[in-house]
Amino acid sequence: MKKGIVLLLLAALAVMQYVRTSSEDQNPYLVTDYSRLHPVKVQRVIQGKAEEQLAELVREAKDKGMKISIAGQRHSQGGHTYYKDAIVVDMTSYNKVISVDPKAKRIVAQAGATWEDVQKAINPYGLSVRTMQSLNTFTIGGSISINAHGRDIRSGSLIKSVQSFRLLTADGSIRNVSRTENAELFPLALGGYGLFGIILEVTLALTDDEIYRESTVLMKLEDYRSYFQNTVLKDSDIRLHIARISVAKDSYFTEAFAKNYTIDRSLLLADHSKLKSNEKWVAPGKLMFHLNRYTDWGKNLQWNLQKYFFVEQSDKIISRNNAMRAASAFMENNEPTENDLLQEYFIPVNQFDGFVTRLGAIVKQEDMNLLNITIRYVNKDEEAILSYAKQDMLALVCLFHAPLSKEGQQRMKQGVERIIEEVITYEGSYYLPYIAYPTIGQFRAVYPKQELFFSKKKQYDPDDVFMNFFYEQYGPLGGGI
């Protein structure tokens, strides 16, 4: 194995010259998101700097009939953060951590602060976030706007961690929103994709940082659901969990591995609590993932290396704050005519086996280039109006590689629509931050409260000051893509 890794590194030096690693800067008024689909001209991009500045901007937009879209890191892929001829408010500069209350286990941060900012602020106090996405580069406001979830299997989706937030609404006023104050807005704006106003600052409930032993178990895919229900869920000391399904040709949808993070109370937090920041082996990792995109043997090699590093080198000691952060630089793709695009499906735990069988078959039949599947768990949580966790769900986070051409995107849309039909058959749902491949009918079937959501949007924002392509495609005037 060591010899193979050396050969891989040598191959990296020979091949990396053919991999694009940079692109020209965007025209600041030609805006898109992570998908790089549907770039449009916007009126201007404004950095969020101060509360009154933003309030004045909203009042001006309302008076002049302009549209506003709200952006963080723009990692959503369905046009949620921009709109044609709109003012795009970039909130990444509105990023202060306002206060940390260690005794109450609470933090207040501006919406543009990243999860890394939060972790740096709370780590010295032995505290951790309850729920966050695996990439800590995303903004707090963006994450609660999509009601994100993560590796924690006990705390539910992100809405459960939010105690309150301050919201700049379409009339230019600022409202305190919680479960007791302006309570109707709480489940609308959280998971509301920026359609109810600009989230200014957020109060989050925290939990204790802990020391975990990381362990990985290789198994047949057909055994995973039973293993998860009978081993993982029943062991309260397993705090975090993810799994992966093989998409390699030699073990396609037959193998999986589960990664557990189990609390170890015998170790001192202070000995293991330093936050890690630098990713290791980025260059060979980029090459490996590049081969995974384009060749069957690359997919086989990727899976076999994962098994070696994760399964054979198990029992790692890691703090909760570090365990919740995932490496990502090795997955970056800058090819101008194609991209890696996410889709995510939530399936009731007891329906998992049947759905996965159909998913594997459809991906093969439609010749979809599936690069990776990560499995996560989300507890039932219907608090958000556009909730995706109608039952206790296993989430399948699927990363596809696809051309950005009209023909290539039509093929992707056809495949995803077939998958969504199976999602509906198996009483599941799908995640809304990604490209709008599902039809209007599929959206309405999966999200039956969408009519209430859009009627409340018109109540709080009758002039549609806050606008994005998600609303255009799936709202009252929607026609899909």
Q: What is the rounded average pLDDT of the residues 456-470?
A: 96
Three-state SS for 398? strand
Q: Which domains does the chain have, with CATH numbers?
A: 92-208 (3.30.465.10), 211-435 (3.40.462.10)
Question: From CA 481, how far away is CA 476, in angstroms rounded?
Answer: 14
Structure tokens belonging to residue 316? 């790692």
Q: What is the rounded average pLDDT of the residues 263-283?
A: 84
pLDDT of residue 318 exceeding 90, the answer is yes
293 membership: H or E segment, kind and range = helix 282-294
> Rounded mean pLDDT of the chain?
89
Per-residue pLDDT, 135: 83
Buried b (16+ CB within 10 A) or exposed e, 60-95: ebbeeebbbbbbbbbbbbbbbbbbbebbbbbbbebb
Per-residue pLDDT, 335: 76
Tell me, yes or no, if the pTM score tops 0.85: yes
Dihedral sign, Cα of residue 340, residue 345, residue 350, residue 354: negative
- What dihedral angle (degrees, nearest 10) is formed by the CA atoms of 182, 188, 194, 196? -50
Higher pLDDT, 190 or 32: 190
Predicted confidence (pLDDT) per residue in 394-450, tens digit: 999 999 999 999 999 999 999 999 999 999 999 999 999 999 999 999 999 999 999
Q: How confident is the model at residue 12 (pLDDT cuts 50, 70, 90)?
A: very low
Residue the block writes with tokens 């369905």: 78
Contact 82, 122 (CB under 8 A): no
Q: CA nearest 152: which of 377, 322, 319, 344?
A: 377
Per-residue pLDDT, 281: 61
Question: From CA 75, how far away is CA 433, in angstroms rounded?
Answer: 9
pLDDT of residue 287 exceeding 90, the answer is no
Three-state SS for 229? helix
Higher pLDDT, 461 or 293: 461
Per-residue pLDDT, 46: 94
Q: pLDDT > 90: what percent of the chain?
A: 76
